[in-house]
Structure 1
Amino acid sequence: MRRELSIDIETYCELDIRKVGAYRYANHESFEILLLAYAYDDEPVSIIDLAKGEILPLFLIHDIQSEDITKGITITAYNANFERTCLSSFFGQKLPPNAWDCTAVWASILGLPNTLGKVGEVLRLEEDQQKLKTGKALINYFCKPCKPTKRNQGRTRNLPEHDPEKWELFKEYCIGDVIAERAIRRKLKNFPMTDTERELWLLDQHINDRGVLIDQQLVSNIVDYNTEHVAVLEAEAIEISGLDNPQSLAQLKGWFLKHEGVEIKSLTKDTIPELLERTDISGNGKRLLEIRQELSKTSVSKYDAMQRAACDDDRIRGILQFYGANRTGRWAGRIVQVHNLPRNSDDIDIARELVVDGDFEMLELLYPSTSRVFSELIRTAIVAPDDKSFVVADFSAIEARVIAWLAGEKWRQDVFASHGKIYEASASQMFKVPLEEVTKDLRQKGKVSELALGYQGGKHALIAMGALDMGIPEEELPELVDAWRKSSPNIVKLWKTVETAAIKAVREHRPVTIQYGITFIYEKGILFIQLPSGRRLAYVKPELKRGNFDKLALCYMGMDQTKKIWTTQWTYGGKLVENIVQAVARDCLGVAMLRIDRSESPIVMHVHDEVVCEVEDQMTDLVLASAYELMSQPIKWAPGLELNADGFVAKFYQK
């Protein structure tokens, strides 16, 4: 019979884990484990006070160091990657993830919050099972450096002997984490992770353990140049204005009112260009605005993050979070946020070479905006080692393919089975012209419509996708919406079908199945949407309420991503279709990643629908061809879904 070993640790390090990530944190010279609380199955929780010299028992060391889950022990923790990474550093050996389970992932799969305390609140754990409210203060006291003061005799760290009472409370807090994690795990055991998801999580852990190499020369050159550049601009602004802090919005507003007689309400990327066009602002005033504009573009925060998070081998690890988007199950970016990096220009190789050489004089001559260049170079800071290259392969128009397949929109499926030019084909359908007669203007309208309207979006969705910036008159937008919907009646029908099925499942508490086995299931206070892959999306505490226009609508409990609070979320057919389509696309990526991993091509990163492998130079062509084939192969649970892949080989990451 398998035994479960629940673990929680408390640690100290001079570094801020939120800024450097778990891997850099755990391998810093100042890192140490202070406390380790553990329990087997339902036994009482024990705690080892490592900070005060206690040692781990041999049986516990043996079980933690188990390399295979088949040995009879499953190690569980909330955010297991942290415990595993820290214990790897503690033991001086890499602990593979095979024997570990992550309760945080289980919670995310069920649509619950991603912190232990908040999950406990949502699941209404009993008082002694919830995290102590004083936990944050105790962590700040013992786990982080402190500011030297006369009161603390100038020390930079708080040790147990500095406040024995707090230390005993901290030990209770650590024990409480194990109790809470174990209680959460019991509550979630009715909804275990599928074998496929566990296999993907294990692959995710290996990918994060590998990490990606950073070109430290490029990164440090940009950070150093930016520091000097900002200092020069700030000095010029001080000379012009006489202000103590020319980056202060309040001081700038006061200066413009006093010296220019102009009242400024805001200084943003949208308002500054308008102010620069005004004739009642002097040359000095306009120069201050230009400096403000340039300073707003000179952020090198991602380069700073790369420097901070790089381990001793110049690799950054832990940049992907499994099930980071718990509405769809997609991965989320961490530390450097590789999911929202700017695209590269065609001449990026030249700019990159100049930066690596430190030739910023030539860079400034060739490029009018160094800030734009630095923005585009972020991707290229991720590099392959000298004897290796990146093989990058990605799905072509995966979401458009999935929604066409799910809706049974035949003309779209025919496009993907042939030429694949969906923007031109959409314009052809919308405006009733032959494909070969689609003009550049019509293609633009087809493109923005495709990007904005697939999930029941309307005029405002087109505007958000940049329709007005493309020069499309606002009065034409309703016509675009109408033309797109008329050209894709089965997608419009899918919105209604999905909404009706979800509402029916919640109202009648019984399963409702639509095409491709997509099933809406109400079970134990959760609405599940079972996908073709068998994976299920979760919507906690679904309810039917009257919404806009007194229409019956579906709502559920979830995290408000703006306010970061657990609250009521409203949804509708198009939004549910978006969740389903993105989740199916994510499952396609999962299948592709497992296939590629089994082919022994080491994945070091993946972004959206793109997989990045780090391969020996002599193997790149073979691996790229293999990746194309593996990503384009049919998927058993998606009969008729047309998939295709594209890609390239490069010494640095780019797009």
Structure 2
Amino acid sequence: MIALDTETFWSAQYSITRLGLDRYVMHPQFKVTLVSLYSPDFEWVGTPDQLPVERLAGETILAHNADFDATVCRMAISKGQMPEFQASRWICTADMAAWHQYPRSLKGAYKHLFGEDLSKDARDEMQGLTPEVIAVNPAFREYALSDARACYRIYEALAPSFPEFEYLLSELTRIIAARGLPVDSKLCQSYIDKLDKVMDKCEAAIPWRSGHKPAPITSPLALGDACKLAGIEPPTSTNEDDPACMKWKSANPEQAIWLDAMSGWRKANKLQESLYGLILRKRPDSRVSTRLKFCGAQHTGRWSGSGGLNFQAIPRSEIQGVSMKKCLVAPAGKVLVSVDLSQIEPRILHWLAGDMEFLSLVSGGIDLYEAHGRASGLYAEDEPMKDFAPELRHLCKARTLGLGYGCGAGKFASVAEALTGGKLKLTPAVARQQVTAYRQQNPLIIALWEKVEAFVRREAKNEAECAVIETRSGKPIRYWDVEFSGKKDEMSAATVKGGPRKKLYGGLLVENLVQCTARCVFGEMLIKAEAAGLPVCLHVHDSITVEVAESEGQAALDLLVNIMSEAPAWAEGLPLAAEGEIRRHY
């Protein structure tokens, strides 16, 4: 086992941030400047052409950001910058740090693990310098070697508590990114042109965009000045889903078009930037890497967007006739099979609470929201709720998805409207009534809030540094440096060591527990899909997409649905369901 660190040429114009990793390493300016190696019995730093590959062949290589270093080495080998070698395995210590809820960065993880500062000043000083200058600078060489040493030390500290399951998921995250998805560049460009016209139309509706000194279209100051000229108070929020914004628009219909135009411009601009990102990051094989960040949400372990293009945020529906999903297309003779877990989080919430009545209804095939209505005593008819009482089903959906974690009445009214696409509008009085009724009708969930909060309070008082909740899968959730304040002894803690603090309460703690459990269930499904020969090319939230031959589409769909409908051995009694489709595009 040996730690490896690579340094590469970069500049303000030529960087991973601007190009993405794939385009960065394929660029004509790509050049590895230094490579460093460290193990307890060996250390080396030098130029890539002098790399002692006999120390790497067949070895397990540690790297703090293995995606970067492994990709850099593959490209350097292909370009003749370094001799060829084949590692037996790459292990990412950044992923290990994130899973343990330490900062992902090498500097941050090292600081909080060992209490020592690791200077990164030399990295900034390398910007724009030629490889020849960097290679002979003693300070840069020592910097590179110190990173490799730090990587090895982090591994030694974290390896005893990092499960093999997580090694597999970390590695699989990189494999999935490398597969990627094909991109239809022509369609991307046609959509970009269409969005230009949409944004022009939005700008035309904004008074502060005209004149010799136009203000930015989304400027709150310009909006405030325009409202002042119109003799009205500006809105407290421009978020179209915010009840305060909705109320302001109703009271000021003539000026409401300003907010609609601002919102429309933001959406179009964001989507256009994503389409540019697809084109910019398109590889020579006409695919784009589907990179995700392992343990991006570190306390729950869920993945997040990475690489400058957030696949987690792809709009589900079209915006002004533009669909980013349609730009991700299966190649000739192939199809994309996508399967989505059905309401996994509320299922896990009731499973953790031990709500057997609800679970038995769901296991028997009853619609999840109808099951909530029946278990809560809201519905007792023989006919399916969606056919006999669709308005009640809207309410049950809002209660199921919106009230399981301690949501208050004020927030629930807006959550209910958003969850039902505007079909359910609750007055403040009705919202309060529903919150009270939910808590009375679901005592097991309320008891779970109280039990988890009481546990964390005890843990925090016994363990000064960190309170730990262990999920049934075995993954810990850490709350660092818990503090108590105020007359109500309110709790706050950091979910990343040394990170920002947040208020803790029973509902939020249970939400974290549910999300972390869902992530572990989903992680097992990813590994099972791969083991079954289904090549995952993207996963977003609770859905998995695989790319297979057109003739194998139905078989792949059936197999993936079966895999995602079966709970892990440690989650006995958890009723899961999944559904999917076969498409030519994502």
Structure 1-normalised TM-score?
0.77
State the one-letter code of the partner of 1:131.
S
- 1:138 lines up with 2:125 in the alignment: yes
> 1:88-113 CA deviation, whole Å, 9 max, x = no partner?
11011998885111111111111111
From 310, 317, 320, the equivalent of 2:282 is: 310
> 1:127-174 CA deviation, whole Å, 9 max, x = no partner?
4xx123x246325x23xxxxxxxxxxxxxxx42677999x54433332
Conserved? CA contact 1:398–1:643, under 8 Å:
yes
Partner of 1:338: 311
Which sits farther off after the overlay, 255-264 or 483-492? 255-264
Return 5+ residue gaps in structure 2 as ranges: none
Partner of 2:398: 448
State the 1:230 CA deviation: 4.2
- 1:182 lines up with 2:176 in the alignment: no
Distance 1:262 1:529, change over 3 A: closer
SS in 2 for 1:643: coil
State the one-letter code of the partner of 1:632.
S
Partner of 2:505: 572
Distance in 1, matches of 2:134 and 2:39, equals: 30
Distance 1:135 1:445, change over 3 A: farther
State the one-letter code of the partner of 1:171.
R
SS in 1 for 2:321: helix
Partner of 2:30: 31
Distance 1:612 1:258, change over 3 A: closer
Conserved? CA contact 1:85–1:95, under 8 Å:
no
State the 1:645 CA deviation: 1.5
Distance 1:229 1:46, change over 3 A: same
> 1:572-594 CA deviation, whole Å, 9 max, x = no partner?
32222212211221111112111
- 1:247 lines up with 2:216 in the alignment: yes
Partner of 1:615: 548
Distance 1:344 1:95, change over 3 A: farther
Which sits farther off after the overlay, 254-263 or 310-319? 254-263
Distance 1:257 1:475, change over 3 A: closer
Distance 1:425 1:327, change over 3 A: same
Partner of 2:525: 592
Distance 1:480 1:549, change over 3 A: farther
> 1:369-404 CA deviation, whole Å, 9 max, x = no partner?
xx4322xx1222221111100111122221122122
Return 5+ residue gaps in structure 1 as ranges: 143-157, 346-370, 510-521
Distance in 1, matches of 2:28 and 2:95, equals: 30
Conserved? CA contact 2:409–2:432, under 8 Å:
yes
Distance in 2, matches of 1:310 and 1:580, equals: 37
SS in 1 for 2:406: coil
Partner of 1:349: none
Distance in 2, matches of 1:35 and 1:162, equals: 11
- Equivalent runs, 1:43-54 vs 2, <5 Å: 43=42, 45-49=43-47
State the one-letter code of the partner of 2:558.
A
> 1:211-249 CA deviation, whole Å, 9 max, x = no partner?
111121211111133345545766897999333435364
State the one-letter code of the partner of 1:159.
T
From 322, 328, 351, the equivalent of 2:300 is: 328
SS in 2 for 1:566: coil
Distance 1:175 1:10, change over 3 A: farther
- Equivalent runs, 1:219-618 vs 2, <5 Å: 219-227=188-196, 230=199, 241-245=210-214, 247=216, 249=219, 252=222, 256=226, 268=238, 270=240, 274=248, 278=252, 292=262, 294-299=264-269, 300-334=272-306, 335-344=308-317, 371-374=319-322, 377-430=323-376, 432-436=378-382, 438=385, 439-467=389-417, 469=422, 470-508=424-462, 525-541=465-481, 543=482, 545-547=483-485, 549-551=487-489, 553-559=490-496, 566-618=499-551
- Equivalent runs, 1:620-635 vs 2, <5 Å: 620-635=553-568
State the one-letter code of the partner of 1:336.
L
Distance 1:183 1:483, change over 3 A: same
Mark the structure with the bigger radius of gyration.
1
From 186, 189, 194, the equivalent of 2:163 is: 194
Partner of 1:514: none
- 1:106 lines up with 2:52 in the alignment: no
Aligned residues between the structures: 565
Distance in 2, matches of 1:649 and 1:105, equals: 33
Distance in 2, matches of 1:372 and 1:98, equals: 49
> 1:623-646 CA deviation, whole Å, 9 max, x = no partner?
111112222234211121222221
> 1:541-575 CA deviation, whole Å, 9 max, x = no partner?
4x3x4345423x55433349xxxx72333323222
Distance in 1, matches of 2:249 and 2:576, equals: 49
CA RMSD of aligned residues (A): 3.4
SS in 2 for 1:580: helix
Conserved? CA contact 1:247–1:292, under 8 Å:
no
State the 1:647 CA deviation: 0.7
> 1:432-453 CA deviation, whole Å, 9 max, x = no partner?
3314575222222211111111
Distance in 2, matches of 1:643 and 1:608, equals: 16
SS in 2 for 1:298: helix
Distance in 1, matches of 2:491 and 2:87, equals: 39
Partner of 2:68: 82
Partner of 1:367: none
Distance 1:19 1:478, change over 3 A: farther
State the one-letter code of the partner of 1:301.
E
SS in 2 for 1:35: strand
Distance in 1, matches of 2:139 and 2:69, equals: 21
Distance 1:168 1:244, change over 3 A: farther
Conserved? CA contact 1:395–1:644, under 8 Å:
yes
Conserved? CA contact 1:462–1:477, under 8 Å:
yes
From 32, 49, 53, the equivalent of 1:61 is: 53
- 1:122 lines up with 2:112 in the alignment: yes
> 1:437-490 CA deviation, whole Å, 9 max, x = no partner?
752222222111111111222224414524485311111112111221222211
> 1:393-421 CA deviation, whole Å, 9 max, x = no partner?
12222112212222110121012211231
Distance in 2, matches of 1:24 and 1:99, equals: 24
Distance 1:123 1:476, change over 3 A: same
Conserved? CA contact 1:11–1:35, under 8 Å:
no
Distance in 2, matches of 1:467 and 1:265, equals: 20
Distance 1:42 1:330, change over 3 A: farther
Partner of 2:5: 7
Partner of 1:154: none
Which sits farther off after the overlay, 80-89 or 489-498? 489-498
Distance in 2, matches of 1:428 and 1:164, equals: 71
Give the % identical residues: 24
State the one-letter code of the partner of 2:335.
S
SS in 1 for 2:73: helix
